[in-house]
Amino acid sequence: MSQPVLQVVIASTRPGRVGGHVADWFVERARVHGGFEVEVVDLAEVDLPLLDEPNHPRLHHYTKQHTLRWSETISRGDAYVFVMPEYNYGINAALKNAIDYLFVEWQDKAVSFVSYGGVSGGLRAVQMLKQVISALKMVPTQDAVVLPFVRQYIDEAGGMSVRVPSRSRPRRCSTSSRGSRGRSARSARLDLPAAPGGR
């Protein structure tokens, strides 16, 4: 049986972003986990314009090639991890825009978060995002990775090293999602790497 597809969505599109480094770090661990086919979805590469569809996404009546491509991409995913910064105490515009484009593609699917930023580690953005994804009937995991003062983990070559206190153990969360292409409900377990400030 094929493995569920975990899409790791890089939310930041900024030149010089740290989001790519954080995503590389997480993707390596997700692949070692072995329970998923891991696919990276980089919003900088997807390069969506501001939402320009005339119809509500719930109608699934798309008129633009970029929307059709985006719909195909997200439909492949059974579960998602958003690697996300915090901008002005909230989610970054590129992520909100990308989410708003679609509806049924997200529905009933599991989602978790690798957030980062300054003192809050992106948690305020995650809380805001949870309100948004509830409108889409997505299923958030309670466990997540939180990286406060994220630059402390990134070396000059762009590598990331997160020292895990010896008493910390990877957090394990179980979730189920509807899956893509009409697959029936399936369970997935994700061992999230423990990180300082993680919960």
- Candidate residues 5, 6, 9, 18; the one interacting with ligand FMN per rule CB under 6 A: 18
Closest distance of CB 76 from ligand FMN, Å: 24
The rounded distance, in Å, linking the Cα atoms of 147 and 149 is 7
Q: Does 7 bind ligand FMN (CB under 6 A)?
A: no
Contacts with ligand FMN in 130-169 (CB under 6 A)?
A: none
- Candidate residues 120, 141, 175, 177; the one interacting with ligand FMN per rule CB under 6 A: 120
Q: CA 163 → CA 154, 169, 194, 195, distances in Å?
A: 12, 12, 9, 7
**C-beta closer to ligand FMN: residue 89 or 152:** 89
Task: Draw the binding track, 48-87, toward ligand FMN (x: CB under 6 A; -: no contact).
Answer: -------------------------------------xxx
Tokens standing for residue 75: 């439909």
Tokens standing for residue 94: 């590129």
Options 12-20, 63-71, 74-82, 180-188: segment touching ligand FMN (CB under 6 A): 12-20
**C-beta closer to ligand FMN: residue 112 or 120:** 120
Instruction: Please report, in angstroms and rounded to a whole number, the separation of the first and last CA atoms in the chain.
Output: 32
Any residues with CB less than 8 A from the CB of 28 and at least 6 apart, and which? none
Q: Which pairs from 55-60 meet CB under 8 Å and 24+ separation?
A: 56/103, 57/100, 57/101, 57/102, 57/103, 57/104, 58/103, 58/104, 60/103, 60/104
Residue nearest to ligand FMN (CB): 117
**C-beta closer to ligand FMN: residue 87 or 103:** 87
Tokens standing for residue 91: 């989610």
**C-beta closer to ligand FMN: residue 88 or 161:** 88
Site residues for ligand FMN per CB under 6 A: 12, 14, 17-19, 85-89, 117-118, 120
